[in-house]
Amino acid sequence: MKRVVTVLAALLVGGIVLAGEPCLTVGMIIGGPKDDAGYNQAQYEALMTLKEKMPCVEILFAENVPEGEAEAVLESMIQQGAKLLFPAGFGYMFPALNLAKRYPDVIFMHPGGYMLADNFGTYFSNVQFAYYLLGVAAGLMTKTGKIGFIGGMPIAFVLGNCNAFHLGARAVNPNVTTYFVVTGAWVDRAKEVAATQALLQQGCDVIGSHLDSPIAVAQTVEAAGAFFVGYPSLAVQKFCPNAWVTGLGLTWGDFFADIAQQVLDGTWKPAHIRKGVEAGFITLGEFGPRVPEEVKKIVLEYKEKLISGELQPFAGPIRDQEGNIRIKEGEVWGPMDMGKFDWLVEGIVGSPK
Amino acid sequence: MLSKVTTSRWTYATLRLVFTIVVILGVFGLFLFILGRDPVKAYRDTISANLLNPRGLSQVLVRMAPLILTALGVAIPFRAGLINIGAEGQFMLGALVGTWVAFQSQNLPLTLIAGMLGGALWALLPGLLKAKGIVNETISTLLLNYLAPLIVGYFVFGPWRAPELAMYPQTPELPEPTRLSLLFGTRLHLGFFLGLFFLLAYAYLVNRSRWGLELRTVGGNPEAARRLGLPVERWIMVAMMVGGALAGLAGIAEVAAIHGRLKMAISPGYGFMGFLVNWLAFANPVGILIMSFLMAFIASSGFTLQITQRLPYAAVNVLMSLILFTVLAKPLAKGVRG
Amino acid sequence: MSWFLSWISGAILYAAPILFPTLGEVMEQRTGMVNLGLEGLMLLGASVSFAVSYLTNNAWLGVLAAAGVGLLANMVYAWLVVKRNAHQLATGLALMFFGIGISALIGKPYVGQMAPTLPKYAVLGPTSLIFRYDLLVYLAFFLVPVVWFLLFRTRFGLRLRAVGESPAIAYAAGVSPEFMRFFVAALAGVLAAVGGAHLAVGITGTWSEGMTAGRGFIAVALVIFSRWNPLRAVLGALVFGGAVVLQLQLQARGIGVSAFILDMIPYVLTLLVLLIWGRGVRYVAPASLGRVYFGTERG
């Protein structure tokens, strides 16, 4: 009798232990808070979708991690058994690469990086191309012919988004002027509000942004009765229900789950993965209450053309603000050229520096 | 009360140090408890991750390195009667000037010296203003703290931006000879040993040399110092510059060892933490060593506990302030009316 | 011309959050206390006001709650400095850390949430975007002459300033320096927290960690800039507010000056003012501040 009980107990304990054993431990660090209705939230939500789709995965997560601490925090996750890590902030690339050299059996997936290693891959959405669609919407919705764009810092991806925004608007409204303003920080609520007000006072009635979190901009636009296009998370819509036209959300949940499965199956390979609307890496949001049906139709048409490849937002000839040809006739810039922007398209008011 | 029991200055200082440490650990535990966490498990988690684990321990030491230097950056002016809250800005200016020289010279010692010069220069202005009786150094160093990252930002975004990194502003990687090598396969670097070296120099020079005596006289009683013929204004400026130099060294060391390039996000508040270390240690060299270790340990715990206990990192700031409040309330001294 | 007007209107708006803590600190320093913890008080006010506004769906309740919390927090400072003779500068910094940390903890569940903000009223010109402010902005500017009057035209103000000039003599004249300092610290705590609350539920309608971006320290500098006189403090606040707005307005006009250079303007200006007018400061400052500022204050 005693032996039976012991065996049963052992089986029970063993069962509990086995049931408690995760199939994979996945870690992520982000540089800001996970509920910023912006970039950090998009990363966090993707992680949560991964967990939903693969319940046996154990998640390790840290937010507000400064860059100088990234290596140490990631390393402590490795020591807790993490085999797949998402250093989900551009500034973490070098610390993560250092770590990748030391831990060849851990896989690292970095957003927007430009280096690869045997165990280090990168991913991002082709935002600039999708932002063209927001420009189309803006060009159709503006009554004043002036649209505004607020960037955090004047880096290539931000400039690229503003350029796409402008080109898209001009495609449907050739006299549109785009005003470009930079706050100098990825997060500074007071400046974001002041920037929005400066644009509104200039006469812009559709505003887009590339910040970590567009909440302050959205609220200011809503209060002024103008229009807003959202990026990088669709969660910001609730802050501006009337001003909302449409938006772009970075949506990597399914992709993360695929990667995790690849790691489990042993089929993962390092690559720069850049996909767009067609693969679900970026999602066009629903339309707001003040958007007329014809506008919706046109935007969706453009979206189809983007998915099919018929639409190439950055096909030459395209000139910069001084009139120089930057993209020649017949030349087309693709996803891997997006790091080359240090200029703004003609017709944009603002400085790329 | 306590000072009546023992007349030995050493014993009193040691008791005060021990008391402070006990307070820190006790408050930490109480604080965790209030936040609904299990203090015992938290202590176990963080001790095993950051003390017993060699990698974790080495990371604590890595975090300690800039703290020792910035604490000295506060301690030396402190002995001259000055409050240097500008270590944060001096740190960044040291990183800035050091980076520039690194690219020009490709030479490590020059880079480090340049870092010290950068920090010293940034402290010179407040020192000058204070010596001339125009502006108190507290205010001027605070203001300069805000200017420093803006200056670094201007360079990192503008003239020094690495072209291939158009996506994210930072300088190109520092030339190989100027990188501080990481030792023993850990992240430990020369900066740590430089910190120890200067700590020893501080302990000897300030407490046992004639210069130190002059410095301390200026700090203890400037009027008497003046009457004794000591060049008070000059000492004020020298003290600030030396303090700034050490904070600047911390800055360039962090860049050369940890980051490898200049960017805006190089200090998570090392300047302010150095101020705290100095305060908790009462400018005592042994105290600085112990307190910077404890601070680094607390900072490391902040990250460990964020992962294991979902404790927000902000809790560390609260903890530091509670410790400071406790120490400032001087619970051991009886009559404190002044 | 409308460019100028919109700049002025923005300057007034962004001057308000700085004006509140500056007025409080003028009073504190006039009693001989230097409080470097204003940044912490402002952040406390910002986070509490946003949280309470979210929970009660009423922004004014948020402001009230912030005022209460600011008052209590500054009592810690006052107790340490008055009763335990703690070093004022270090105590202020401890308060700063405290505010930074606690506000992050309080505000954490409310990051990325929406909460009611203060309604805006126009005084000049009807429906335009400019010159429409919430009541706190009007209050800030209204308080300036009030504080001036209090300090320089009332018996209470006389007693307050006496404490700052010489606590011993004030005591001999029947004033309690301790009571005065606690009282003023309470006022200053309220004011600084309200300044932070204005930033959260007045201007931005959000909370994020550290959102005051050093305004608490600028306030301390503005106090010296203003020679401890509320009327001159307004000027400093407007300069600061104006610089914040100017940078963005210039950009919106395509004038390409580096954002960093423009950002430096308020700090450089403050330094310049201190340099140019600072020489006589020693003789204008409340005398007992001399212990703190000019060298003999020891912990």
Least CB–CB distance from B166: residue in A61, A80, A341: A341
A153/B303 Cβ within 8 A = no
pLDDT mean over B259-278: 83
Residue of C96, C271, C291 to mutate when probing chain B, most B C-beta within 10 A:
C271
In this predicted structure, the answer to whether residue B223 has a pLDDT above a threshold of 90 is no
In this predicted structure, the answer to whether residue B254 has a pLDDT above a threshold of 70 is yes
C-alpha B180/C-alpha B70 separation (Å) is 18
**pLDDT value of position B315:** 78
Residue of C206, C207, C245, C247 to mutate when probing chain A, most A C-beta within 10 A:
C206
B317/C104 Cβ within 8 A = yes
In this predicted structure, the answer to whether residue B44 has a pLDDT above a threshold of 60 is yes
Residues of A in contact with C247 (CB under 8 A): 184
Three state DSSP letters for chain B: CHHHHCCCHHHHHHHHHHHHHHHHHHHHHHHHHHCCCCHHHHHHHHHHHHHHCHHHHHHHHHHHHHHHHHHHHHHHHHHCCCCCCCHHHHHHHHHHHHHHHHHHHCCHHHHHHHHHHHHHHHHHHHHHHHHCCCCCHHHHHHHHHHHHHHHHHHHHHCCCCCHHHCCCCCCCCCCHHHCCCECCCCCCEHHHHHHHHHHHHHHHHHHHCHHHHHHHHHHHCHHHHHHCCCCHHHHHHHHHHHHHHHHHHHHHHHHHHHHCCCCCCCCCCHHHHHHHHHHHHCCCHHHHHHHHHHHHHHHHHHHHHHHHHCCCCHHHHHHHHHHHHHHHCCCCCCCCCC
Other C-beta atoms closer than 10 Å to the C-beta of A173 total 17
Q: What confidence tens digit (pLDDT) does each residue in A240-263 have?
A: 999 999 999 999 999 999 999 999
- The DSSP H or E segment spanning A151 is strand A146-151
Per-residue confidence in pLDDT tens, chain C, 299 aa: 577 877 888 899 999 999 999 999 999 999 999 898 999 999 999 999 999 999 999 999 999 999 999 999 999 999 999 998 888 888 998 899 899 999 998 998 888 788 888 888 777 655 455 677 888 999 999 999 999 999 999 999 999 999 988 888 888 888 899 999 999 999 999 999 999 999 999 988 889 888 888 888 889 878 877 888 999 899 889 988 888 788 788 877 777 677 777 778 777 877 787 777 666 555 566 777 656 554 444 33
Chains A–C, number of C-beta pairs less than 8 Å apart:
110
Least CB–CB distance from B154: residue in C104, C258, C292: C258
Residues of B in contact with A184 (CB under 8 A): 153
Mark which residues 173-202 of C lie under 8 Å from B by CB: none
Q: Provide the H-helix boundaries in chain A.
A: 2-20, 39-53, 67-79, 93-102, 127-141, 156-172, 189-202, 215-224, 253-265, 293-308
B316/C275 Cβ within 8 A = no
Looking at residue A180, its amino acid is F
Q: Tell me the three state secondary structure of residue C277.
A: helix
Distance from the Cα of C228 to chain A's closest Cα (Å) equals 27
C-alpha B230/C-alpha B321 separation (Å) is 37
The region, left, alpha or beta by phi > 0 then psi within -120 to 50, assigned to residue C210 is left
According to DSSP, the residues that pair with A250 across neighbouring strands are A282
Q: What confidence tens digit (pLDDT) does each residue in B70-114 have?
A: 999 999 999 998 989 899 999 999 999 999 998 888 888 888 999
In this predicted structure, the answer to whether residue B336 has a pLDDT above a threshold of 50 is no
Q: What confidence tens digit (pLDDT) does each residue in A9-22 have?
A: 444 444 444 456 78
Comparing A258-267, A311-320, B48-57, C199-208, which segment has the lowest mean pLDDT? B48-57
In this predicted structure, the answer to whether residue B4 has a pLDDT above a threshold of 60 is no
Least CB–CB distance from B150: residue in C85, C263, C271: C263
**Confidence band of B225 (pLDDT split at 50, 70, 90):** confident
Residues of A in contact with B300 (CB under 8 A): 72
Residues of B in contact with A71 (CB under 8 A): 187
Residues of C in contact with B311 (CB under 8 A): none
**pLDDT value of position C292:** 58
pLDDT mean over B171-199: 75
In this predicted structure, the answer to whether residue B124 has a pLDDT above a threshold of 60 is yes
Q: Check if A207 contacts C (Cβ < 8 Å).
A: no
Is there a contact between B281 and B71 (Cβ–Cβ < 8 Å)?
yes
C252/A33 Cβ within 8 A = no
Chains that touch B (3 or more CB pairs under 8 A): A, C
- Say what the alpha-carbon torsion angle C191, C274, B70, B293 is, to the nearest 10 degrees: -20
Residues of C in contact with B151 (CB under 8 A): 260, 264
C-alpha B5/C-alpha B3 separation (Å) is 5
Q: Check if B53 contacts A (Cβ < 8 Å).
A: yes
Q: Check if C14 contacts A (Cβ < 8 Å).
A: yes
A68/B268 Cβ within 8 A = yes
C-alpha A94/C-alpha C163 separation (Å) is 57
Distance from the Cα of C12 to chain A's closest Cα (Å) equals 12
- Tokens 């000037």 — which residue? B97
**pLDDT value of position A187:** 79
Mean per-residue pLDDT over chain C, rounded: 85
Work out the angle at residue A262's Cα, subtended by the Cα atoms of residues A257 and A267, and round it to the nearest 5 degrees.
165
A353/B53 Cβ within 8 A = no
**pLDDT value of position C296:** 42
Residues of C in contact with A183 (CB under 8 A): 248, 259
**pLDDT value of position C54:** 93
In this predicted structure, the answer to whether residue B1 has a pLDDT above a threshold of 80 is no
Residues of C in contact with A184 (CB under 8 A): 247, 259-260, 263
Least CB–CB distance from B147: residue in C40, C258, C264: C264
Q: Check if C114 contacts A (Cβ < 8 Å).
A: yes
Q: Check if B36 contacts C (Cβ < 8 Å).
A: no
In this predicted structure, the answer to whether residue B266 has a pLDDT above a threshold of 60 is yes
**pLDDT value of position A96:** 93
Answer positive or negative: Cα dihedral of C135, C140, C144, C150.
Answer: positive
Sheet with A107-111, side-by-side order of all strands: A57-62, A24-29, A84-87, A107-111, A120-125, A272-275
**pLDDT value of position C214:** 80
In this predicted structure, the answer to whether residue A176 has a pLDDT above a threshold of 80 is yes
Q: Which of A262, A189, A241 is nearest to C206 (CA)?
A: A189
Q: What confidence tens digit (pLDDT) does each residue in B284-312 have?
A: 899 999 999 988 888 888 777 777 777 77
A194/C245 Cβ within 8 A = yes
Mark which residues 89-148 of C lie under 8 Å from B by CB: 89-91, 93-98, 100-105, 108
Q: Which residue has the higher pLDDT, B8 or A252?
A: A252
Chains A–B, number of C-beta pairs less than 8 Å apart:
73
Nearest CA in chain A to C112: A36
**pLDDT value of position B185:** 60
The token pair at A230 is 């959202």
Q: Check if C8 contacts A (Cβ < 8 Å).
A: no
C-alpha C31/C-alpha C285 separation (Å) is 11
pTM (two decimals): 0.82
**pLDDT value of position A202:** 86
Task: Look at strands A107-111 and A348-349 and give their pairing.
Answer: unpaired
Q: Which of A58, A235, A208 is nearest to A146 (CA)?
A: A208
**pLDDT value of position C125:** 56
Residue C36 DSSP symbol: T
Distance from the Cα of C229 to chain A's closest Cα (Å) equals 27
**pLDDT value of position A14:** 42
**pLDDT value of position C128:** 53
According to DSSP, the residues that pair with B112 across neighbouring strands are none
C256/A351 Cβ within 8 A = yes
Comparing A118-122, A206-210, B298-302, C144-148, which segment has the lowest mean pLDDT? B298-302
Other C-beta atoms closer than 10 Å to the C-beta of A7 total 10
A76/B49 Cβ within 8 A = yes
Chains that touch A (3 or more CB pairs under 8 A): B, C
In this predicted structure, the answer to whether residue A138 has a pLDDT above a threshold of 90 is yes
Where does residue A329 rank: exposed (0-12), middle (13-18), buried (19+ CB within 10 A)?
A: exposed
**pLDDT value of position B222:** 83
According to DSSP, the residues that pair with A274 across neighbouring strands are A124
A60/B169 Cβ within 8 A = no
**pLDDT value of position C297:** 41
Q: Report how far Cα A8 is from the mean position of its chain's Cα atoms.
A: 51
**pLDDT value of position B120:** 96
The token pair at A337 is 């050229």
In this predicted structure, the answer to whether residue B165 has a pLDDT above a threshold of 60 is no
CA-to-CA separations, C119 to A34, C63, C143, in angstroms, rounded:
29, 13, 20
Least CB–CB distance from C129: residue in A37, A179, A201: A201
In this predicted structure, the answer to whether residue A120 has a pLDDT above a threshold of 70 is yes
Is there a contact between B221 and B79 (Cβ–Cβ < 8 Å)?
no
Distance from the Cα of A297 to chain B's closest Cα (Å) equals 34
